[in-house]
């Protein structure tokens, strides 16, 4: 599929500087651009590559001023990174799969929308509702009474347990599991445990991305809630009865214990662990590998194990690394006093 530079600019409402008739047929990185390639410049540290790139055109912001001659055409936009993402999404959408494999196992009373793709060895149980343009890749299992919205993608090996709800425009990557039992066991006098039935479900709202091998547990009662716009990376565990607020982002290997509520627009670094029954406010930022054992108010920035105010934590680390020498000095002073 080929487009001219001008056609691409028209798609995103951009302006062209250079040859509007140059042909674009692929995406490429700015540091190793290719002929007929489209790249972008968003990070200033990559600016020097724009003068040597072999890419035919580069998306740049409206304020960019070249200081040396260019061999590429420029496509000026307000946000090159976002514009590049939109173009890649258009490309991806143009290659959406359609059709239902003869090797899929679909119950009789399943409701399928228009232009649905269902791959080989997908199994779909009774009472499932699937919206328009949704894609379900091979070896995925959807249990009874699940509802999936429009334009959602379930990649290979996704498992959705019974009665869960997935919204519109969601993406669940390979091996994600939605609706497993929450980790609920009542201790007995004989030191054994009685399993507590998990009778709720998981509700994932619109525009949510779930990474590969991420697991979200169903609630004991009610629903585990993943609000609209949430982005979860790979290998994340969300326990039963949790709620993750709108547009919150979590990097890989975070673990959220049961009945914790996390607010809107939060950012969690990788390997963050959050204890149970906590309330994390809106716009909270948590540094990588932090252990969150307390609730935090809106706009908090925390770090460490246990997590506390990030600036105080950094000061504490500056002292902590000198503890051995401080101890030695104190020992020397004690010896002199004696």
Top-tier CATH class for 99-314: mainly beta
Q: How much is the average pLDDT of 196-202?
A: 96
Q: What is the pLDDT of residue 92?
A: 81
* Res 112: pLDDT: 97
Per DSSP, 68 falls in state S
Report the half-sphere exposure of 67 (CA within 13 A, side-chain side). Answer: 3
Q: Where are the chain's structural domains?
A: 3-94, 99-314
pLDDT at 326 over 90: no
Q: What is the pLDDT of residues 138-162, one digit of tens each?
A: 999 999 999 999 999 999 999 999 9
CA distances (Å), 82 to each of 12, 41, 60, 77, 331, in order?
10, 11, 11, 9, 58
The pLDDT of residue 98 is: 85
Helical H runs in the chain?
5-12, 80-94, 310-320, 323-337
Question: How many Cβ atoms sit within 10 Å of the Cβ of residue 149?
Answer: 21
Band (321; pLDDT cuts 50, 70, 90): confident
Model pLDDT for residues 67-93, shown as the tens digit of each residue: 999 999 999 999 999 999 999 988 887
Report the pLDDT value the prediction gives residue 71, as an integer from 0 to 100: 93
Active site residue 240: yes
Name the phi and psi angles at 312, rounded to 5.
Answer: -65, -35
* 1: pLDDT strictly greater than 90: no
Place of tokens 């990588």: 288
Q: How confident is the model at residue 190 (pLDDT cuts 50, 70, 90)?
A: very high
Coil, helix or strand at residue 285: strand
Query: Rounded to whole angstroms, what are the CA distances from 314 to 289, 304, 323, 324?
Result: 14, 9, 15, 18
Q: What percent of the chain has pLDDT over 70?
A: 100
pLDDT in tens, 4-33: 999 999 999 999 999 999 999 999 999 888
72: Cβ–Cβ under 8 A, 6 or more apart, which residues?
A: 18, 33, 39, 50, 53, 55, 56, 57, 58
- Looking at every residue in the chain, the average pLDDT score rounds to 95
* In CATH, 3-94 is 3.40.1390.10: yes
Q: Which of 103, 162, 173, 240 is catalytic?
A: 240
Spatial contact of 181 and 198, defined as CB atoms under 8 Å apart: yes
3-state secondary structure of 146: coil
Domains 3-94 and 99-314 alike in fold: no
């Amino acid at each position: 599929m080929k487009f001219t530079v001008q056609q691409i600019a028209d798609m995103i409402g951009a302006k062209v500087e250079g040859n509007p008739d140059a042909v674009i047929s692929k995406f490429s990185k700015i540091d190793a651009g290719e002929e007929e390639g489209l790249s972008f410049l968003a990070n200033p540290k990559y600016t020097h590559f724009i003068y040597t790139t072999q890419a035919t055109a580069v998306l740049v912001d409206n304020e960019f001023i070249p200081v040396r001659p260019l061999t590429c055409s420029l496509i000026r936009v307000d946000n090159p990174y976002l514009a590049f993402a939109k173009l890649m999404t258009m490309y991806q959408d143009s290659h959406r799969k359609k059709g239902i494999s003869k090797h899929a196992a679909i119950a009789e009373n399943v409701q399928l929308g228009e232009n649905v793709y269902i791959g080989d060895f997908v199994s779909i149980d009774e009472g499932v509702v699937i919206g328009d343009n949704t894609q379900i890749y091979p070896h995925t299992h959807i249990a009874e009474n699940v509802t999936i919205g429009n334009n959602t993608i379930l990649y290979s090996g996704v498992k959705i347990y019974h009665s869960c709800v997935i919204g519109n425009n969601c993406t669940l990557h390979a091996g994600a599991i939605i609706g497993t039992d929450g980790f609920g066991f009542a201790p007995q006098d004989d030191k054994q445990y009685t399993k507590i039935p998990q009778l709720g479900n998981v509700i994932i709202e619109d525009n949510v991305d779930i990474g590969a091998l991420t697991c979200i547990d169903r609630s004991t009662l009610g629903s585990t809630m993943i609000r609209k716009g949430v982005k979860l990376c790979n290998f994340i565990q969300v326990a039963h009865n949790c709620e993750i607020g709108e547009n919150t982002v979590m990097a890989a290997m975070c673990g959220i214990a049961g009945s914790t509520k996390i607010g809107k627009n939060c950012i969690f670094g990788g390997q963050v662990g959050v204890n149970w029954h906590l309330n994390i406010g809106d716009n909270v930022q948590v540094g990588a590998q932090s252990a969150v054992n307390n609730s935090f108010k809106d706009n908090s920035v925390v770090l460490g194990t246990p997590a506390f105010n990030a600036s105080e934590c950094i000061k504490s680390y500056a002292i902590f690394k000198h503890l051995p020498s401080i101890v030695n000095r104190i020992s020397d002073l004690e010896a002199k006093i004696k």
